[in-house]
């Protein structure tokens, strides 16, 4: 008796599940990086004693093959007041397996919470920048200190 032919649909489902797991892992890693940045802004490599640049560590890493820009690019460098385009799954990704629905919902909740924290941090940074810019710069003939004791 001959072996039954392999079910191509089962093979597609397995491949699709593996791809979805990789996509969700990448999205969660990007979210983890944003959460770490919120917890320690010096980790962005902008300087400061805790920054990777101060420790000689390269910030970033390899991009996920076939990932869309929001997954691969990390921080949004488009500038203030811009919004990223809606995330688009990599080409050829099939339907989300049912059992991953809960993981996706938890990821969405985390993304929304982190986005709210990032917006708050962005607002605080804008206020700090405005305060620094309001001070102005000092020219060579302007006194640097005011003698209040003397």
Using one digit for the tens of pLDDT, what is the confidence trace for 93-140?
899 999 999 999 999 999 999 999 999 989 998 999 998 888 766 666
Q: Is residue 28 part of a domain?
A: yes
Q: Is residue 113 part of a domain?
A: yes
pLDDT at 5 over 80: no
- What angle in degrees, to the nearest 10, is found between the helix axes of 101-135 and 8-39? 30
Mean pLDDT of 58-70: 36
pLDDT per residue as tens digits for the range 22-39: 999 999 999 999 999 888
The whole-number pLDDT of residue 54 equals 46
Q: Is residue 71 part of a domain?
A: yes
Tokens 């599940």: give the residue: 17
User: What share of the chain has pLDDT > 70, as a percent?
Assistant: 59
Q: Of 116, 15, 111, 16, which Cα lies nearest the Cα of 70? A: 111
How buried is residue 6: exposed, middle or buried, by Cβ count under 10 Å (0-12/13-18/19+)?
exposed
Q: Is residue 97 part of a domain?
A: yes
Domain that holds residue 66: 8-77+92-132
Contact 52, 45 (CB under 8 A): yes
Reported pTM: 0.59
Q: How many structural domains are present in the chain?
A: 1
The whole-number pLDDT of residue 68 equals 38
The whole-number pLDDT of residue 114 equals 93
């Amino acid at each position: 008796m001959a072996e039954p032919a392999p079910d191509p649909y089962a093979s597609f489902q397995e491949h699709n599940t593996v791809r979805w797991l990789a996509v969700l892992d990448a999205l969660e890693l990007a979210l983890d990086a944003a959460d770490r940045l919120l917890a320690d802004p010096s980790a962005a490599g902008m300087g400061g004693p805790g920054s990777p640049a101060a420790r000689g560590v390269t910030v970033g890493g390899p991009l996920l093959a076939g990932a869309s820009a929001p997954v691969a690019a990390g921080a949004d460098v488009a500038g203030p007041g811009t919004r990223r385009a809606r995330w688009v799954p990599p080409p050829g990704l099939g339907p989300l397996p049912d059992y991953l629905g809960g993981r996706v919902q938890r990821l969405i909740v985390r993304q929304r919470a982190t986005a709210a924290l990032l917006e708050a941090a962005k607002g605080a940074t804008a206020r700090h920048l405005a305060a620094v810019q309001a001070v102005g710069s000092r020219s060579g003939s302007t006194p640097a200190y005011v003698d209040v004791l003397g």
